[in-house]
Amino acid sequence: DQQVKQNSPSLSVQEGRISILNCDYTNSMFDYFLWYKKYPAEGPTFLISISSIKDKNEDGRFTVFLNKSAKHLSLHIVPSQPGDSAVYFCAASARYGGSQGNLIFGKGTKLSVKP
Amino acid sequence: DVKVTQSSRYLVKRTGEKVFLECVQDMDHENMFWYRQDPGLGLRLIYFSYDVKMKEKGDIPEGYSVSREKKERFSLILESASTNQTSMYLCASSLRPSGRQFFGPGTRLTVL
């Protein structure tokens, strides 16, 4: 059973507009969430993270929102640029609860930003 | 700067060959991971290791084995390569199992 779900396999957005990528999780023990970005033929690179004590974290054009009651997080990219076109993976773990469980990844959302 | 390197970026092998994929990290991380990435299936964990000489099966270990003789090095072995093992293979390391993982550039393996 998937503990981290990215229900949209793909998303297409116009340059300059907002991109919103969504992620849902089922394990209430998860307290640490990350987003990775992956270009073809490259390894994933870390983008932004958030712990469960916060509901928002911002880094430049990237903002992650966490809604613990809904077990939902989202990544907002504003404004979107063609270079943002990539696959975005959501990941989660029970990091602060003392568990030794691994980071669990979603299946990814392919973002295409059209010029 | 953190660095995870993989022995090859592209590899072409024949069915039945033994294949070694090597991964080296310079961050003194205890934990290392091997994933494969296929379209629509995301990152699937093959094996991971919490320490030297220790290994744990991930979600799809069949057809693979691993070796961790030194802390910085984690090898993935395909004992007898098959065409369904054609994929992108990604190695990662982390300070804690539940923490941020640092990925290598990946190896695109094609088995003919």
Residues in chain B with CB shorter than 8 Å from the CB of A107 are 40-42
Confidence of residue A94 (pLDDT cuts 50, 70, 90): confident
The pLDDT score that the predictor gives to residue B36 is: 96
Of A9, A42, A89, the CB nearest to B106: A42
**Closest CA of chain A from B37, distance in Å:** 9
Segment B72-85, tens digit of pLDDT: 999 999 999 999 99
Confidence of residue A47 (pLDDT cuts 50, 70, 90): very high
Checking if the pLDDT of A98 tops 70, the result is: no
User: For B69-98, what is the mean pLDDT?
Assistant: 95
The pLDDT score that the predictor gives to residue A26 is: 95
- β B102-103/B87-94 pair status: antiparallel
Checking if the pLDDT of B44 tops 90, the result is: yes
Residues in chain B with CB shorter than 8 Å from the CB of A49 are 100
User: For A72-81, what is the mean pLDDT?
Assistant: 98
**Averaged confidence pLDDT in chain B:** 94
The pLDDT score that the predictor gives to residue A72 is: 98
The DSSP output letter for A82 is G
Of A38, A44, A93, the CB nearest to B98: A93
**Closest CA of chain A from B79, distance in Å:** 24
- β A19-25/A72-77 pair status: antiparallel
CB of B48 within 8 Å of a chain A CB? The answer is: yes
CB of B16 within 8 Å of a chain A CB? The answer is: no
Distance CA B101, CA B85 (A): 23
CB of B103 within 8 Å of a chain A CB? The answer is: yes
The pLDDT score that the predictor gives to residue B74 is: 97
C-alpha of A9 from chain center: 13
Residue A68: both structure tokens together: 């613990």
